[in-house]
Structure 1
Amino acid sequence: MSNLIDPVAKALAVSGVLAAGSLAVAHAAPALSALNAVRPWLTPELCGYGDTDHVALTFDDGPDPASTPHFLAELDRAGVRATFFLLGRMLVRDPGLGRELVAAGHEIAVHGYQHRCLLARTPSAVRDDIARARDVIADLTGTQPAWYRPPYGVLTAGALATARELGLTPVLWSTWGRDWTATATPDSVHRTVTRRLAGGGTVLLHDTDCTAAPGSWRSALGALPRLVDTCRARGLRLGPLREHRATAVAPA
């Protein structure tokens, strides 16, 4: 019997390793969409492409009472509305600010409860994080969010399944400002955003430094008026994702 059991045990062990490896690959494969260079070709539906005369303006990581009100004031001056991807843990600290976003006409979306990379979390932890954030946002703002963007733009199979289950549409971005770095300036943010800015695109900025270099939000705030002017000079409307009609087809 031992001659038979040994090879069977070895085969089962090898198949177990292979199965575990396959599961890990399936879990992590959607994370490739976080790479700006490959996303338009691999998963264009995640780029947030929409009508070619419109640009979706989005902000991540808030709301933050130290910085978000400055963005609200600047957006109000410009007559522009945006989509704010909120962290649940930030919203529970200042639910009134979340309601203020809604009252000002901005769109609220889900960025998760904790700002942790999903690749390091189990599928059940990912589901709990997204569902908890969705529920907190709906309860505290009185608005049912429609969009989901993961921390760092890193998706997993579990995150996609959970978003589908909760009625959330995953969306990343087509251009960003790299406004989270310590060396970012209003000029660098505007230059970086507009390098790849096109009608139908989605812009990623941050209205807080809670997960970034201290004070880095000021670079995005300083770039905002110029970004609005640039879009208008190019004949592009600037607004939230709900007005964007995102599709899976990249602009020409």
Structure 2
Amino acid sequence: MLAMTTPREALRASWEDQQNVHEPERELRFRLMLDYVGQLTGTPTRVLDLACGPGSITRRVLDRFPSAEVVAVDIDPLLLDLARDAFAGDPRVQVVARQLADPDWTDGLDGGFDAVLTATAMHWFPPSALAGVYAGVARLLRSGGVFANADHAPIAEPVLRSVADKLHDEHLRSTFADGVESCDQWYERAYADPRYAGLWEQRQQAFAHWSGDLLEREGWHVDLLRRNGFERAGAVWRQGNDALILAVRA
């Protein structure tokens, strides 16, 4: 007999669906992220999933490296609930509420991580806050540990950047015209669930300081990472105006 899908499982599945629409090469980015972690650190034993959402990266880390332990942090109350439900009873995973914009966001987190991984989240931070996130990541990583950030890092050349934006916009328009759910629609539907009554206001407060659309080129991020504790950094993959930037702690 097939197991019944719970409402939280259905929300996690539809999260994956809409994220795959917004980021068509999402699975490739995740695979490359873990490929580089394996090459640079060996089999990781401790991983930090930064801005974890419902646990997408955490799930892929555990599938790839079953012996790893993962600390997954986020601030969105609904996404934290979905992540805690996803890994309930799994001693390898600790899900923690943490406001990454706070200067002391690393307090209480044990360091020595082999890898810190994040996707499509860092572009929400203003530059000053992002510098604090990068510095905190460096403090939490062991020497030689890897930070992998898959996010928007536009092409520096303006004409090519504009073409990449146009191609991505055309992809979204054609996909959404077929009735596929967008990220904004997912949030609207998910927070309308009576189970999360009152949590939308908490989310609005938690994200009030986030600016969004920090569209700085790869080199800007590389410079910021090097100024905040990383020995080397660079993009290892690009699809249009999205890139996977890796940095290795000194």
Question: Considering the TM-score relative to the shorter chain, is it more than 0.5?
Answer: no
Q: In terms of Rg, which structure is larger?
A: 1
TM-score (norm 2): 0.30
Q: Comparing both chains, which one has the higher relative contact order based on Cα–Cα distances under 8 Å and sequence gaps of 6 or more?
A: 1
In terms of fraction of residues, the more strand-rich structure is: 2
TM-score of the aligned structures, taking structure 1 as reference length:
0.30
